Amino acid sequence: MSQFERVVVTGLGAMTPLGVGVEKFWQGIKCASNGIGPITLIDVSKHTTRFGGEVTGFNPEDFVERKEARRMDRFVQLSVAASDEAIKGSGLVIADNNRDRVGVVIGCGVGGLQTWEREYRTLIEKGPDRVSPFLIPMMISNMAAGHVSIRHGARGPNTATVSACTTSAHAIGFAYDLVRRGDADAMIAGGAEAPICDSALAGFGNMHALSRRNDDPAHASRPFDKERDGFVMGEGAGTVLLESLSSAQARGAKIYAELLGYGMSADAYHITGMPEEGYGLGNAMKAALRYSGVQPEEVQYINAHGTSTPTNDKTETAAIKQVFGEHAYKMGVSSTKSQVGHLLGAGSAVEFIATALGLYHQIMPSTINHQVPDPECDLDYVTEGARAAKFDVALTNSSGFGGHNVSLALRRWAE
């Protein structure tokens, strides 16, 4: 074995507003479909924003028994379903001969808010003795990683990340490190989020982060468009199986892409805002290129963070120009948030999956709803639908409240 293992992607699982399962997600991406609509999970009549991205058709009892499902917050249910799909699709059998070499890193940005809201109402209305004894293990953010590990008997490295909208990008990066240095042969990695509840909708709404296009929710998420007015909140989960190349080849696994490396940085600027120059995200992209041994001109596609907020999109555009110079205009750039909304802590895992499948199928996802060009956002945003293209190297970017930035670098797999 060489000093460091190469790390490849052999399993994918996704629960998104485009449907239950990675196949429905990818079909939606290819067809430039829209998963945004009126919120049905809660009564939104008093909220300023009344639409979002729900995983319609998701029934937790299709994946776990009713009693077990009732002891999980929705974010855990979504994560268990996505992880089951990723593991099954990878063909990896976790058994006594390898379970100590298979680990889990799955994060959540805000934890079990739905459980917290319900039990807090119980506390106020009925008293402390009526609060569920499962409150804490249902709401804490590490429970997706815990449940997936227990369910599959994965006894290798296990942890959870919590870094707002970069949560699952950090999870995938940390899992990559564990496989690369030989601490695990395979890692189940990603993120989950179920934030469609009163407190999250009110909190994000009152800080004017959410779009308020209640009369036209289908066109509300419009990254890089001049008339963008905020992001669209969504729920979901994304899980990938990262595996050492030697392990994957030994068992003849299907390989979707190679994860070359990643970069992290901080803006050190503001709790929610981004510096207009984009130096923080720019530094993360530079670090990803440096770590991966990739030259800027080799990158042909970027799956952007692209939230559809006025500040983020022009800042990310500036960051891409800062890193790539004139080559920035020669790359395809897209934001799949235009199709599924912003899945917060799950978003970067789902976008990683879109990027890996894009490389595998040689298709660049589209940025839908881009109707009015913004002079400050002047790159090639792949606005005409999913684009067939030959490309070998891609980045996927994430930024989060607190000034976190992550960029992951992937390469198309070829024997």
Radius of gyration of the chain from its Cα atoms, rounded to whole angstroms: 20
Nearest-angstrom CA–CA distance, 224 and 405? 19
| Longest alpha-carbon distance in the chain | 64
Helix (H) or strand (E) holding 172: helix 167-180
Torsion of CA 33, 37, 41, 46, to 10 degrees: 160
CA nearest neighbour of 343 among 75, 40, 77: 75
Residue appearing with tokens 């399993």: 11
Phi, psi of 158 (to 5 degrees): -140, 125
CA 250 to chain CA centroid, Å, is 29
Helices (H), 91-186: 113-126, 135-139, 143-152, 167-180
Nearest to 217 by CA among 375, 36, 413: 36
Catalytic residues: 165, 305, 342
DSSP β-bridge partners for residue 159: 105
Q: What are phi and psi of 86, to 5 degrees?
A: -65, -45
Enumerate residues 6+ apart whose C-beta is below 8 A from 72: 60, 64, 80, 138, 143, 147
The CA distance from 173 to 177, in Å, is: 6
